[in-house]
Amino acid sequence: MTITDLVAPGAILPALKVNNKKQALMELAAHAAGLTGQNERAIFEVLLQREKLGTTAVGYGIAIPHGKLPKLDKLFGMFARLERPIDFEAMDGEPVDLLFLLLAPEGAGADHLKALARIARLLRDQDVAKKLRASRDAQALYSVLAMPPATAA
């Protein structure tokens, strides 16, 4: 499974304008609903419930909000670069400016965890994060995400 298996070129938001975590989750849910045909409110609730368990910010300005939906038929990913960093209650205290949304079918099990691990590994690569922060349009961002990893995992 590669990142491009999860994210379509149309699922990239190059300059999302939000002021806080809740607004970011609402915007992600709205865009994801349009791309997946899922209910926007259901997506938002799943993401909010997951955040209540603990932040999905992984440090270094990166968050990976995620959740499982009963009616989803395959893993779905979406990437957003925020116009301004926001507080996402990260353990390292750093504001977040790179978001990767991952939605999974309820029965996804190990595939969901493998996808989360792959996303976290990719985004924590400092070179990749730097390129994502420097890219201004959806195509450039997608190209960075689609690059093969520099080192074998």
Which of 14-18, 47-51, 110-114 shows the lowest per-residue confidence on average (mean pLDDT)?
110-114
**Is residue 153 scored above 90 in pLDDT?**
no
What pLDDT does 8 receive? Answer: 87
What's the gap between Cα 114 and its chain centre? 14
Active site residues: 66
Could you tell me the CA-to-CA distances from 139 to 78, 81, 105 in Å, in that order?
A: 13, 13, 27
What count of other Cβ atoms lies within 10 Å of the Cβ of residue 48?
A: 16
Average the pLDDT over 34-57 and give the result: 96
- List the domains of the chain with CATH numbers: 3-146 (3.40.930.10)
What pLDDT does 99 receive? Answer: 98
What pLDDT does 150 receive? Answer: 58
Could you tell me the CA-to-CA distances from 60 to 90, 96, 99 in Å, in that order?
A: 9, 8, 11
CB 136 within 8 Å of CB 40: no
What pLDDT does 151 receive? Answer: 47
pLDDT in tens, 81-101: 999 999 999 999 999 999 999
